[in-house]
Structure 1
Amino acid sequence: MPSFVSRIVPVYLRIARANRPFISTEGARRHIRERTLRPQPYGPPRRLRADVAVTVDHDRGWPIYTLTPRTGQPHGNVVYAHGGGWVNEIQPQHWALAAEIAVRAGTTVTVPIYPLIPFGSADVVIPAFADLVLANRIQYGEVCLAGDSAGGQIALSTAVVLRDEHQVTLPRTILISPALDLSLSNPEIPVVLPTDPWLGHDGGLVLGEHWRGPLPISDPRVSPLFAEMANLGPLTLFCGTRDILWPDARLLVDKARGAGVEVDFHEATDLVHVYPLTPTSEGRAAQAEMIAQLKTALETVRR
Structure 2
Amino acid sequence: MVYLPLPLVAASLTPFYRLALHPSLPATAARRVIDAGSALQALPRDTVVRKLTLAGRPAERITVGATERRSAILYLHGGGYTLGSLATHRSGAAHLAKESGAAVFVLEYRLAPENPFPAGLEDAVAAYLELLGEHGFTPDTLAIAGDSAGGGLTLATTRRLVDRYSVKPAALGLIAPWVDPGARDAPFDRDTVINTGWSYKAAEAYLGGGDATDPGYAPLLGDLSGLPPTLVHVGTTEVLHSQVVELVDKMRAAGTPVEFTEYPTLWHVAHLQASLVREAADAVHEMGDFLRTRLAPQPV
Question: TM-score per shorter chain, which class?
Answer: 0.7 to 0.9
Shift in CA distance, 288/38, structure 1 to aligned 2, threshold 3 Å: closer
Match of 2:6 in 1: 6
Shift in CA distance, 123/31, structure 1 to aligned 2, threshold 3 Å: same
Structure 2 unaligned blocks of 5 or more: none
TM-score by length of 2: 0.85
Match of 1:121 in 2: 116
Match of 1:79 in 2: 74
Match of 2:234 in 1: 239
1:1-303 equivalences in 2 (<5 Å) = 5-14=5-14, 16-20=15-19, 22=21, 27-32=22-27, 34-35=29-30, 48-49=43-44, 51-58=46-53, 60-71=55-66, 73-90=68-85, 94-138=89-133, 139-141=136-138, 142-186=141-185, 189-190=186-187, 192-193=188-189, 196-278=191-273, 279-299=276-296
Q: Which moved more, 1:273-282 or 1:140-149?
A: 273-282
Q: Which moved more, 1:267-276 or 1:236-245?
A: 267-276
Pairwise CA distance, 1:90: 2.7
TM-score by length of 1: 0.84
What is the identity, as a one-letter code, of the residue corresponding to 2:171?
R
| Residues 121, 153 of structure 2: 8 Å contact kept | yes
What is the identity, as a one-letter code, of the residue corresponding to 2:167?
V
Shift in CA distance, 35/104, structure 1 to aligned 2, threshold 3 Å: closer
2:5 aligned counterpart, secondary structure? helix
Q: Which moved more, 1:65-74 or 1:106-115?
A: 65-74
After superposition, the C-alpha distances for 1:91-136 in whole angstroms (9 at most, x for unaligned) are 7562122222333422221111122222222311112211211221
Shift in CA distance, 42/221, structure 1 to aligned 2, threshold 3 Å: farther
Distance 2:65 2:280 in 1: 25
Shift in CA distance, 113/33, structure 1 to aligned 2, threshold 3 Å: closer
Distance 1:112 1:123 in 2: 15
What is the identity, as a one-letter code, of the residue corresponding to 1:134?
L
Structure 1 unaligned blocks of 5 or more: none
Distance 1:40 1:277 in 2: 13
Shift in CA distance, 13/153, structure 1 to aligned 2, threshold 3 Å: same
Distance 1:19 1:46 in 2: 19
Pairwise CA distance, 1:48: 4.3
What is the identity, as a one-letter code, of the residue corresponding to 1:218?
T
Shift in CA distance, 120/301, structure 1 to aligned 2, threshold 3 Å: farther
What is the identity, as a one-letter code, of the residue corresponding to 1:126?
L
Aligned-residue RMSD, C-alpha:
3.1
